[in-house]
């Protein structure tokens, strides 16, 4: 089962069809989808799409830390969202005022997908007071230690702070990362291998005995027209590093299936 862990639901009327067509073309079985609007009004569109295609779409709620109420997490869980996407925090991710939000996510078993690293420029930057510094990978360290049983995924592996993100993957058993964004285009397989070195020697595996590539998940974060290219980038990395068939399968969907509580046939428990 292949799961794309990072997909924005577009604003075009046929965006759902575009996503499904693109996924079908490259064999993606399920897509984690979320919106991207400041006021979260399009969370309803995400939920509607997932209800129309429950076998394909996995809905994540879009949540802006410092703008939205912690109770919105409870409401999202009740509505059927399976995780939460965080970006554009009004203060750093590790601000203590956000702990009630994280506590609710952990309590409901909703994985958190955090944008980490540099963020693209947009017309809403001034309105949202966007500051990449607040989204550096290290800003999650305090959170992960406070909520050790809450599964968290770093989008983009902290690009360009890959070294920081890679070591956090090793020391935090509840942390994972996708390689979406430009990382696979400008970082060589050799470079990524040098960062994700731990695991070849049992002494250096994480607290649960896993190697580095057992903490990586597949995610595209691009338009439907470009999804095949990102899929090819992942396959090229696997080939260059000689990753086993088992590790490839875990990255492409097995790990996300476990984090989301999906059974072997792709249904939620």
Which pLDDT score, from 0 to 100, does residue 63 have? 95
Q: Which of 128-132, 134-138, 219-223 has the lowest mean pLDDT?
A: 128-132
| Percentage of the chain modeled with pLDDT above 90 | 84
Please state which CATH number belongs to domain 3-260: 3.20.20.140
DSSP state of 264: T
Q: Give 186's pLDDT tier (boundaries 50, 70, 90).
A: very high
Q: Is 142 exposed, middle or buried (0-12, 13-18, 19+ CB in 10 A)?
A: middle
Position 200 pLDDT exceeds 90: no
Which pLDDT score, from 0 to 100, does residue 14 have? 57
What residue ranges in 156-249 does DSSP mark as E strands?
A: 175-178, 216-217
Which pLDDT score, from 0 to 100, does residue 36 have? 76
**Mean pLDDT across the chain:** 93
Give the residue from 93, 9, 74, 20 showing the smallest Cα distance to 43. 9
Mean pLDDT of 249-256: 97
* Entry field: residues in the chain: 269
The tens digit of pLDDT for each residue in 35-82 reads 976 666 789 999 999 999 999 999 999 999 999 999 999 999 999 999
Which pLDDT score, from 0 to 100, does residue 264 have? 74
Cβ contacts of residue 247 below 8 Å, gap of 6+? 211, 213, 214, 238
Which pLDDT score, from 0 to 100, does residue 205 have? 87
Mean pLDDT of 20-47: 89
Mean pLDDT of 130-139: 95
Mean pLDDT of 172-197: 95
The tens digit of pLDDT for each residue in 227-251 reads 999 999 999 999 999 999 999 999 9
- Report the predicted TM-score, pTM, of the whole model to 2 decimal places: 0.95
| Percentage of the chain modeled with pLDDT above 70 | 97
Residue 190 · residue 197 · CB < 8 Å:
no
Which pLDDT score, from 0 to 100, does residue 265 have? 72
Which pLDDT score, from 0 to 100, does residue 23 have? 97
Beta-carbon count within 10 A of 201 CB: 9
- Give the integer Cα–Cα distance in Å for 18 and 14: 6
Which pLDDT score, from 0 to 100, does residue 42 have? 86
């Amino acid at each position: 089962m292949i799961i794309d862990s990072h997909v924005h639901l577009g604003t075009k009327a046929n965006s759902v069809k575009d996503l499904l067509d693109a996924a079908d073309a490259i064999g993606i079985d399920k897509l984690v989808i979320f919106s991207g609007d400041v006021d979260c009004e399009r969370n309803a569109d995400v939920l509607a799409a997932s209800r129309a295609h429950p076998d394909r779409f996995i809905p994540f709620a879009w949540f802006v830390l410092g703008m939205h109420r912690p109770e919105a997490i409870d409401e999202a869980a009740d509505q059927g969202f399976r995780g939460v996407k965080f970006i554009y925090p009004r203060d750093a991710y590790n601000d203590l005022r956000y702990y009630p939000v994280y506590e609710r996510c952990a309590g409901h078993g909703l994985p958190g997908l955090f944008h980490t690293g540099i963020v693209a420029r947009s017309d809403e930057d001034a309105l949202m007071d966007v500051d990449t510094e607040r989204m550096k990978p290290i800003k999650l360290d305090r959170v992960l230690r406070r909520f050790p049983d809450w599964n968290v995924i770093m989008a983009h592996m902290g690009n360009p702070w890959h070294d920081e993100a890679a070591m956090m993957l090793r020391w935090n058993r509840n942390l994972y990362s996708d390689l979406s964004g430009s990382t696979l285009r400008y970082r060589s397989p050799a470079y990524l291998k040098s960062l994700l070195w731990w695991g070849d020697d049992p002494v250096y595996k994480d607290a649960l005995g896993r190697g580095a590539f057992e903490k990586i998940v597949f995610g595209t974060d691009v338009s439907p027209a470009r999804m095949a290219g990102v899929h090819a980038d992942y396959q090229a990395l696997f080939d260059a590093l000689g990753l086993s068939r088992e590790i490839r399968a875990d990255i492409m969907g097995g790990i996300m299936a476990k984090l989301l509580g999906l059974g072997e046939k792709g249904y939620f428990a």
